[in-house]
Amino acid sequence: MRLAGYVTLELGLACGLVLGAGYLGARGLGRWGGASAPSHAGAGEGPGVAPPAGGVAVTGAPLARRQELSTEATDWVAPGASAGLDAEGTFLGMSDELLIARMRAQPVRSLKLNKGGSSLSFRVDFADGSRAAWKPAQTNTQTIPRKEVAAYRLSRLLGLGAVPPATPRAFTRDEVFTLLHPDSLPALPRIRAETIVGPNGMVSGAASYWIPVIKDSKFDTPAGHQQVAAWLTQGEPMPFGERGMLAQLSTMALFDFLTANPDRHSGGNMKTSPDGTVLYFMDNTMSFFIEPEGTEKNRAIFLHVQRFSRRLVEALPRVTFPALQPLMRAEDGAELLTDPEARTVVQRRALAEEYIHSLVRQFGEAEVLCFP
């Protein structure tokens, strides 16, 4: 449920702002601790952040190729596990290109409305037996499908494999309204009322790879959020068996700060593999707000993390406006992110680097960049 439970979560994470206060005061960035900054539609990229002497040297060197996902998740989720979930260019061991090509071209056989949530979301069954999650253009302004594709492409720029492959996909009006699964027919009036049909009779949207089986994270509760925040705090011990998941949760907090996605910790948007070892960064359509310092909720979560993936931190300098401009254009030239949205991603990247560098100065590189 969107926005539900936010107050409870913010109370549980209030100490995150306290932990970050020393850094913010020292850097003259106390404004982070208040309400979200006003939007700056024409904001520039902002200055780069030089690494501290003796601290982490952040470079744009290519990341090492990651391990393939085994059929046995316990083979790879181990203490010190990588923040990435797959080898580059694959998801769950399958080629991104293959998955995206299917979602772009396969004829649709049926659409079944997904239950729960406030937005329209469908499971699409294609003619070849493959499936996708599809969100159409709709009247719900909290769901903007292009942003799902943008989040996927940003994750790949950072060398991450946690966001399911996503691509723009449009269907005709007739496909959407006449190929509904029988179970979804009672919702047809709502679908007609909320779906936006273009003047050409097409319904634009975004298709994401359909993960066959998922379950809620055991950490997606107020108590779970507090426990994770404690484990990712300097000086606190990390349970041996949770280290691989903590690496992924740390990466999720940084990724969601970059994308300004306040919808993650809402009680239903932290999904894992059936055995609870692989964390998926799903549901990114309520993100990329034009907030150079991120949303208040994202700041609170991010500033409570004091342990990060070295590989991810080394990849952050890739996030530049010149890199994002071509990346955030669909094949037909449509914008996945507007220029103001892309510029604020870059500004948040610079602030994230500065915060991490401040932790390195205080606690040491090995302690802060403790995940591969």
* Dihedral over Cα of 229, 219, 344, 99: its sign: positive
Over 90: is that where the pLDDT of 15 sits? no
Gyration radius (Cα) of the chain, Å:
20
Residues of the chain with pLDDT > 70: what percent?
76
Distance CA(232)–CA(237), nearest Å, equals: 9
Cβ(136)–Cβ(196) under 8 Å? yes
Residue spans of the domains in the chain: they are 6-88+215-368, 90-209
Q: 355: how many CB neighbours lie within 10 A of its CB?
A: 25
Over 60: is that where the pLDDT of 26 sits? no
Is the pTM of the predicted complex or chain greater than 0.75?
A: yes
Q: Which phi-psi region, left, alpha or beta, contains residue 295 (left: φ > 0; alpha: ψ -120 to 50)?
A: beta
Strands 166-168 and 279-280 come out as unpaired
Residue-level pLDDT at 266: 76
Mean pLDDT of the 243-270 span: 93
Over 50: is that where the pLDDT of 63 sits? no
Over 90: is that where the pLDDT of 366 sits? yes
Which range is least confidently modeled, 17-26, 112-121, 125-134, 249-258? 17-26
Cβ(111)–Cβ(180) under 8 Å? yes
Residue type, 355: Y
Residue-level pLDDT at 117: 74
The CA-atom distances, in angstroms, between 172 and each of 107, 109, 200, 330 are 11, 13, 9, 19
Nearest to 303 by CA among 254, 350, 264: 254
The CA-atom distances, in angstroms, between 74 and each of 77, 115, 250, 273, 278 are 5, 31, 19, 11, 10
Which range is least confidently modeled, 37-46, 184-193, 342-351? 37-46
Q: Which two tokens stand for residue 253?
A: 């907090």
Nearest to 319 by CA among 45, 44, 37: 45
What DSSP assignment string belongs to 45-79? -----PPPTTS-----PPPPPPPPPPSSGGGT--T
Mean pLDDT of the 59-76 span: 31
Q: Which two tokens stand for residue 236?
A: 């606190």
Q: Which helix (H) or strand (E) holds 267?
A: none
Tell me the helices (H) and strands (E) count for the chain, helix number first. 13, 12
* DSSP alpha helix (H) spans, 184-263: 188-194, 222-231, 243-259
Distance CA(200)–CA(163), nearest Å, equals: 31
Which range is least confidently modeled, 21-30, 44-53, 75-84? 44-53
Cβ(123)–Cβ(210) under 8 Å? yes
Ranges of beta strands (E only) in 245-332 are 271-272, 279-280
Over 60: is that where the pLDDT of 31 sits? no
